[in-house]
Chains A and B, each alone.
Chain A
């Protein structure tokens, strides 16, 4: 069990009484990149929301073990401290909260969780500078309100910047490629790749093969009707790109 980072077992969850996830099983080990693909409405974003602790979803069954910790019992902030990171499909604009204050609060909350003293102003700024380079994020954005008035590309780069600062053990990238042009996609994917180590892992949720040209998955899973119905290697993504989802849908629906 030592080398398992995340083990999701028969996870059921829904929203307002409607079940969306109907028994998810997923095992992620350190160093791995998993891609989760699937047609619209299959439950991809629900899965990422449930793992991150979005209160609008209710877990109705199953478990998620995160390096020995019962993930589902933690608040969203403690999940973050334990090393989970969710890159949002639609990063939230927070007018009036500056990026700098936001990140300082985030960094120091994590340090407090591990009984460490807050970072000094100098060390904090140095950290920001280092991490900004990874996604070529403009310094100007630091003084602006979180995501407010950011372009689509800037928002996604900002997500990866935050990921770089928080150094998560498991990152879930929810449709990170949506709304990105090819240059922004390259920068974002480049950032993700630079942050990859043997200890951490990534779950990439995406509609399209496109992102997987840049972030190479070790495993590809197909989510359909709230279950992972098919798993394979990177070649599965190419197959999907070519044939679409219909063959999978037929297979599952005919069972």
Chain B
């Protein structure tokens, strides 16, 4: 029996409660999601194409609780979450399990033309806006996003209106806080309108490392003509946390997008990036770094569709795998027939720090147009022995030299992060991660286990 069924029956048994707790703009998407799920019949497993290292069937198999009846978890937002990204003052919102809570500064300082609010609230106050966007990109095209749509009850809406250039970064902290195994259905709707710009930082944390958590995340991003978005996502949860995160983006002409994914601590994660370049003159940078040890699994897949001419995309994925960890990267660049003068590059570089670590990589190009520049490359290797010896001859102890080399390996991904203070933060996090100080974002209060 498929583990999907337990969630379908959960939905069917609690249909009335779910419908009563959510506005129509969310409920209206559920019937289509349900029939799509019934058609899929099951979640993808390792034998399905593109899922060689992730079985969602297994990930969803434990009988996770879902907060159907909207129990409020007692987390004092003001107390627990002070943003600590140096030199970056952010507009902070926290998602406790799946419930959005704005910080006091966010409520006070949110500039005009900018919305950072609960999805449930916006769906009630401005259904027209939500209906115009929500579900349009995810569109039940796969079982994971359909299940997210079926069960979603809240989430975050970020909207930056036409022409508004938002200086401050918006930070969304997703946090698990439950003394029982829990699945959270998280939803993010981002609309950056014409010529507007924003920077968004999303961090995942688990306040307890004792319980199994599962995060189902769907983010839909709409970039208007000439819009700019820098989007950074950091996973620093726990080894008992799993997640399936899907990012769907639609880019209109001359829009600029930078996505940086960082997977530092998590049990099993699957990140999917679906980016549709629908306008001319777009620029898309997608970079991700993954550091795994123990028996962690980090699985990234990307699909960039060049549907329009004269746009450029560039991808860099880097993995550092130790112990018995597994990494997977499947990346597809698709260039449509009339997408002339497309430039699309993809690179995957991996370092195996142990004999038992495994990397699976599958770069793919699908090009239906002659006049393009595209390239892809993948390489997996080990620490440079010559560099290690060189450093040792200067007196740097082997363990420290290894760590410096591993950090150096990640430096070009970090250098691409467009938020300066965040780059320093990431260097620090990577250093801590590599020195074996596990999981917690140090003094970033968002993860303090108090």
User: Which A residues lie at the B interface, using CB under 8 A?
Assistant: 52-56, 75-77, 79-81, 85-86, 88, 91-97, 101-103, 105-107, 109-110, 113, 145, 162, 166
Contact = CB atoms under 8 A, between A and B. Distances in A.
Contacts of B20: none
A53 B392 contact: yes
B89 to A, nearest CB: 27
Given A96-B412, A97-B405, A91 B395 contact: no
Contacts of B391: 94, 97, 102, 105-106
Contact of B394 (A53, A95, A145, A166): A166
B389 interface: yes
A80 B393 contact: yes
A202 to B, nearest CB: 16
A109 to B, nearest CB: 5
B411 to A, nearest CB: 4
B412 A88 contact: no
A110 B390 contact: no
A80 B404 contact: no
B81 interface: no
B393 A52 contact: yes
Contacts of A91: 390
Contact of B398 (A75, A81, A97, A145): A75
14 contacts: A55-B389, A75-B397, A77-B395, A77-B396, A81-B395, A92-B384, A92-B387, A94-B384, A94-B408, A95-B411, A107-B395, A109-B395, A109-B397, A162-B394
A52 B387 CA distance: 14
B400 A109 contact: yes
Interface in B376-415: 384-387, 389-398, 400-401, 404-405, 407-412
A86 B394 CA distance: 8
Given A92-B386, A92-B387, A96-B412, A102 B407 contact: no
Contacts of A97: 391, 404-405, 407-408
A112 to B, nearest CB: 9
Nearest to A55: B389
Given A94-B387, A105-B400, A109-B400, A76 B393 contact: yes
B392 A76 contact: yes
B396 A105 contact: yes
Residue picked from B393, B395, B407, B411, most chain A C-beta under 10 Å: B395
Size category of the B interface is 20 to 34
Contacts of B412: 95-96
A106 B389 CA distance: 13
A77 B410 CA distance: 25
The binding surface of chain B is classed by DSSP as: helix
Contacts of B394: 80, 102-103, 106, 162, 166
Nearest to B414: A96
A145 to B, nearest CB: 8
B307 to A, nearest CB: 36
Contact of B389 (A54, A107, A109): A54
Contact of A77 (B387, B398, B409): B398
A94 B205 CA distance: 33
Contacts, number: 84
Nearest to A86: B393
B392 A77 contact: yes
Contact of B392 (A80, A96, A107, A145): A80
Given A77-B398, A81-B395, A166-B395, A92 B390 contact: yes
A101 B392 contact: no
Contact of A94 (B385, B390, B398, B410): B390
Contact of B395 (A80, A95, A145): A80
Contacts of B404: 97, 101-102, 105
> What are the 10 tightest A-B residue pairs by CB atom distance, in nearest-first order?
A96-B408, A96-B411, A76-B392, A80-B395, A92-B390, A106-B394, A97-B408, A109-B395, A77-B392, A106-B395
A145 B411 CA distance: 11
A117 to B, nearest CB: 16
A35 to B, nearest CB: 21
Contacts of A75: 392, 397-398
Interface centre among B396, B398, B405, B408, by most chain A C-beta atoms within 10 angstroms, is B396
A77 B397 contact: yes
A174 B408 CA distance: 27
A76 B389 contact: yes
A187 to B, nearest CB: 21
A173 to B, nearest CB: 13
Contacts of B393: 52-53, 76-77, 79-80, 85-86, 88
A154 to B, nearest CB: 16
A91 B385 CA distance: 13
Given A94-B391, A106-B395, 15 more contacts: A53-B389, A54-B389, A56-B385, A75-B397, A76-B393, A77-B392, A81-B395, A91-B390, A92-B387, A92-B390, A94-B384, A97-B404, A102-B394, A106-B391, A109-B397
Given A96-B407, A96-B408, A97-B408, A113 B389 contact: no
Contacts of A106: 391, 394-396
Contacts of B385: 55-56
A94 B410 CA distance: 13
Nearest to A165: B394
A183 to B, nearest CB: 26
A189 to B, nearest CB: 21
A105 B403 CA distance: 11
